[in-house]
Each structure stands twice: as structure tokens, then as C-alpha cells.
Structure 1
Amino acid sequence: MKMFLISDNVDTKTGMRLAGVKGVVVHEREEVRAALDTALKDKDIGIILITEKLGKLIADDIKNIKLNYHTPLVVEIPDRHGTGRTPDSITKYVREAIGLRI
């Protein structure tokens, strides 16, 4: 299985390309959705990496994929400026996904 990157930053794409990960650089919501749709259609892609900034643009789409698709795994990654997540983001995700408070 392959990994695919959806990034808003050329530097992130370059770094991931050096690690063998192909990807695209996009900036607008519709570009992000189009890149995500293209990646979802490729059955060889098992992991989609998306920068957190772009993840926020299509948060509902990503949430739908995480909750309803077996593959691919969607992973939001910080860009070179660091993470934008709150300290309890994983706890919140688990609570929303399965309804348990941990």
C-alpha cells in the first residue's frame, strides 16, 4: 500500500517526497476535496496524510472517512509551523467516535 500527501506547503511535500511519498500542494477547499476524492479512488493508497490546516477546511469529509471507511487511514500532520491541535484532541475524537468518555 502507498501513502499520499495532501499539503498546503511545498516544503512539506518536498520532505515527504524524499521519503518516497507522492503528493499534491493545494490551497482552496475545492482543490482539497478534489485531491481527496482522487486519492480515495486509488485503491493502492492505504494512508492519506493531510496537513492540519487543510484538514480544518474539510473537517466533515475527514471525519466521515475516519468513521465510515475501512481504508484509507487519514492522518492529519502538523506543518513546519507546528501543530494546531488542542491537548485533548485524541480524547475528543474517541468520545465522538464511540461515545465513551475517557
Structure 2
Amino acid sequence: MKSILLSDSDDIINGLRLAGVPGVLCTDRKNLLSNFNKYKNDKHIGIIILTYSSFEMIKDEVIEVKLNQKLPLVVTIPELDGKMEDDFILKYIKESVGIKVVGD
């Protein structure tokens, strides 16, 4: 299975391309959602990688896939400046299953 990156950043796309991960530049929500829907149903794609800003644009659709499909795995990576919600995983668990996880 293959991975695909969906991002609005040429720099991130080029960086991951050096690691062997192809990417698609998605400049607006409509384009991002179109590509996300295309790759979520592609049997050859095992992982869809989204930058944090891309995830925020189509958050509801991503959570729907995570809850209802075994594959592809959808993962979120930080922006170049490291921007990503601090408690992203805890918030995702709470939104997905309605349980608040308390850290140390």
C-alpha cells in the first residue's frame, strides 16, 4: 500500500517527496475535499497524510473516515512552524468516543 500527502504547502510536499511520499497541492477546501474523497476510496492508498491546516479545513470528513473505515489510516502532521494543537490526540478521543482522557 502507498501513502499520499495532501497539503497547501509546497515545502512540505517537496520535503516528503524526498522521503518517497508523493504529495498533492491543495490550495482550497474544495480541491482538498475532492482529493481526500478520491484517495480515501483508492484501494492502493494505505495512509493519507494531512498537514494540520488541511485537517482543520475538512475535520468533519476526516473524523467520519476514521470512525467508519478501516483503511486508509489518516494522520496529521504539524506545519513547518510546528503549529499543531497541543492536545490534539486527547481532543480527538473526546470528539470520537465522548470520553475525556486526563493526563498526568
Shift of 1:99: 2.8
RMSD: 1.2
CA-to-aligned-CA distance 1:71-99 (integer Å, 9 cap, x gap): 001111112121231x3221121122223
Q: Percent identity?
A: 40
**What is the letter of the counterpart of residue 26 of structure 1?**
C
Instruction: Find the residue that maps to 2:50 and give its secondary structure.
Output: strand
Cα distance in 2 between the residues matched to 1:76 and 1:60:
14
Report the equivalent of 2:12.
12
Q: Which residue of 2 aligns with 1:72?
A: 72
Q: Give the match's secondary structure for 2:37.
A: helix
CA deviation map 1:54-75 (0-9, x unaligned): 1111111111111111100111
Matched residue SS, 2:75: strand
TM-score (norm 2): 0.89
Q: Runs of 5+ in structure 2 lacking a partner?
A: none
Question: Any gaps of 5 or more consecutive residues in structure 1?
Answer: none
CA contact (8 A) 1:27 1:54 kept: no
Moved over 6 A (4+): none
Match of 2:2 in 1: 2
**Residues paired across the two proteins, number:** 101
Q: 1:23-62 counterparts in 2 under 5 A?
A: 23-62=23-62
The TM-score, its normalising length taken from structure 1, stands at 0.91
Distance in 2 between residues matched to 1:59 and 1:95, nearest whole Å:
14
Counterpart residue type for residue 95 of structure 2: E
| Cα displacement string for residues 13-60 of structure 1 (whole angstroms, at most 9, x for unaligned residues) | 111111111110111110001110121121111100011111111111
